[in-house]
Amino acid sequence: MPTIQLKTPIPGPKSKALAARRESAVPRGLSHATPVYVAKTEGAVLEDVDGNRYIDFTGGIGCVNVGHRAPEVIEELQKQLDRFLHVSVQVTPYESYIRLAERLNALTPGKFPKKSFLLNTGAEAVENAVKIARAHTGRQGIIAFEDAFHGRTFMSMALTSKTHPYKVGFGALPGDVYRIPYAYCYRCSYSLKYPSCDLYCARHLEDTFNRVVASEDVAAVIAEPVLGEGGFVVPPQDFYRVLVDICHKHGVLFIADEVQSGFGRTGALFACEHYGIEPDLLVTAKSLGGGLPLGAVTGRTEIMDAPGPGGLGGTFAGNPLACAAALAVLDMFEHKDLSRRANELGAKFQERAKKWQKLWPLIGDVRGLGAMQAIELVRSPETREPAAEKTKQVVNYCYQHGLIALSAGSYSNVVRLLVPLVISDEQMNEGLDVLEAALHSVAEKNMAVSQPVS
């Protein structure tokens, strides 16, 4: 039996009623990609308050690579519920925190001695990576990339690139943040082509140290190994090797933000592994917690130990429930070969998406690594003018037909795949069928659709 079961037009009456309550209770600054109010989840399936079932290609924005309510996670959570909830690791520490740190130290790229420190969110982990990098180097500058997304708190917002809606009106932002172009080959900032460009964008960092900020004043370069919110952009194979070599030549740390690309999403536990690089600091969150809020900074021991006692912390950071969930997540990666599954899902997506690209000029680019896949929609393949409105129409069509999908990109013209890696082949095909129908509808009929509640 197909998984998708729509009992009402979407949104259903109960979702609509909740949207009306939300209107007066919650600020408009919090927007929703869909008007669907959720009631239950399992694996790669969501059920809404009206009893409609959807395939989920978004996984809570990449937080449930192991699936919604993974039985292994639930089991460990239930055991932890019987032991203790919050005590604060800063007062009376507990073994699961230490065990999780040990496992992150062992699993992250690099054989050198490491330490890990836990937080609640990705943004908080990014903030702390910056604190640690500054404390270690005694330098202040941080270089981030165009199209980067690192969070919504002040420092992580300053590191984030996209202006609307993330930064507009919220300044003054923290200083000493510098920005350089990413290896976004489809929209190369230098209008060059790989490989004849000889990785001009990576090599340009040397020039930045001459013309923009002295390397002696730069603590770190921070990068998402594969861009997340910026549109699932996959840099060329040798990009990071060149970039990291330049950083290290100048005593600048390299921070990898694997908040979205981590935990099997790209077909390896960490995307850095594809590039053969060992970041000085690695930031994780999202799927680490298997559905619970958890972030981490993992890095070289001598760097992690730079801040003095009491310099790092947070009342809830490394909450015992989140630690229990994360340990179950790591067990699942050890026993279930979810990274292999990510590659299968990615190949399936690519095969279908390449066919769509031949059919419809709307699809300018198909790209991805493992199950971190996306299509970029354009008004014309020649001009590559972003098709943001049509992207919104595709996403709307999807939820109206039983698929929860999400856009991305600095120009809001990318449809991305963040499907739970436990999805079955049948469910994946059902979801891809809906996406195909959405693209067909938007590309050929340019239908009019209702706007989601925001």
Ligand X SMILES: Cc1ncc(COP(=O)(O)O)c(C=O)c1O
122 touches ligand X by CB under 6 A: yes
Among the listed residues 12, 43, 228, 314, the single contact to ligand X using CB under 6 A: 228
Contact stretch for ligand X (CB under 6 A) within 101-109, 162-170, 255-263, 409-417: 255-263
224 touches ligand X by CB under 6 A: yes
Contact stretch for ligand X (CB under 6 A) within 144-152, 184-192, 240-248, 325-333: 144-152
Q: Which is nearer to ligand X, 269 or 442 (CB)?
A: 269
Q: Cβ–Cβ contacts within 10 Å for residue 246, how many?
A: 20
Cβ at position 184, least distance to ligand X in Å: 15
Q: Which is nearer to ligand X, 4 or 222 (CB)?
A: 222
Among the listed residues 126, 223, 378, 422, the single contact to ligand X using CB under 6 A: 126
Cα–Cα dist 337/418, whole Å? 17
Q: Which is nearer to ligand X, 61 or 388 (CB)?
A: 61
Cβ at position 129, least distance to ligand X in Å: 10
Q: Cβ–Cβ contacts within 10 Å for residue 98, how many?
A: 14
User: DSSP string of 206-267?
Assistant: HHHHHHTS-GGGEEEEEE-SS-STTT-----TTHHHHHHHHHHHTT-EEEEE-TTTTTTTTS
Size of the site for ligand X (CB under 6 A): 15
Among the listed residues 12, 141, 151, 420, the single contact to ligand X using CB under 6 A: 151
Contact stretch for ligand X (CB under 6 A) within 118-126, 129-137, 208-216, 425-433: 118-126
134 touches ligand X by CB under 6 A: no
Q: Which is nearer to ligand X, 208 or 260 (CB)?
A: 260
121 touches ligand X by CB under 6 A: yes
Name the residue type at position 20.
A
b/e 404-433 (16+ beta carbons within 10 angstroms → b): bbbbbbbbbbbbbbbbbbbbeeebbebbbb
Q: Which is nearer to ligand X, 224 or 280 (CB)?
A: 224
CB 358 within 8 A of CB 366: no
Radius of gyration of the chain (CA): 22
268 touches ligand X by CB under 6 A: no
Beta bridge partners of 254: 221
Cβ at position 325, least distance to ligand X in Å: 15
Taking CA atoms, 202 is separated from 198, 207, 210, in Å, by 9, 10, 14
Which residue's Cβ has the minimum distance to ligand X?
Answer: 122
Contact stretch for ligand X (CB under 6 A) within 122-130, 233-241, 346-354, 360-368: 122-130
56 touches ligand X by CB under 6 A: no
Count Cβ atoms within 10 A of the Cβ of residue 25 and give its class: 0-12 exposed, 13-18 middle, 19 or more buried. Answer: exposed
| Three-class HEC string of 130-149 | HHHHHHHHCCCEEEEECCCC
Q: Which is nearer to ligand X, 66 or 363 (CB)?
A: 66
CA dihedral (176, 181, 183, 186) positive or negative: positive
Cα–Cα dist 287/420, whole Å? 10
Cβ at position 166, least distance to ligand X in Å: 10
In the numeric block, which tokens belong to residue 95? 């073994």
Cα–Cα dist 283/280, whole Å? 10
Cβ at position 61, least distance to ligand X in Å: 6
285 touches ligand X by CB under 6 A: yes
149 touches ligand X by CB under 6 A: yes
Cβ at position 410, least distance to ligand X in Å: 13
In the numeric block, which tokens belong to residue 29? 């600054």
147 touches ligand X by CB under 6 A: no
CB 285 within 8 A of CB 119: yes
123 touches ligand X by CB under 6 A: yes
Name the residue type at position 168.
V
User: DSSP string of 52-79?
Assistant: -EEEESSHHHHT-TT-BT-HHHHHHHHH
Which residue, among 248, 230, 250, 232, has the nearest Cα to 240 in the 3D structure?
248
Q: Which is nearer to ligand X, 222 or 363 (CB)?
A: 222
Residues 303, 305, 311, 313, Cα dihedral to 10°: 90
Residues 299-358 that bind ligand X (CB under 6 A): none
Q: Which is nearer to ligand X, 229 or 430 (CB)?
A: 229
230 touches ligand X by CB under 6 A: no
Q: Which is nearer to ligand X, 246 or 406 (CB)?
A: 406
259 touches ligand X by CB under 6 A: yes
Cβ at position 385, least distance to ligand X in Å: 26
229 touches ligand X by CB under 6 A: yes
Q: Which residues bind ligand X (CB under 6 A)?
A: 61, 121-123, 126, 149-151, 224, 228-229, 257, 259-260, 285
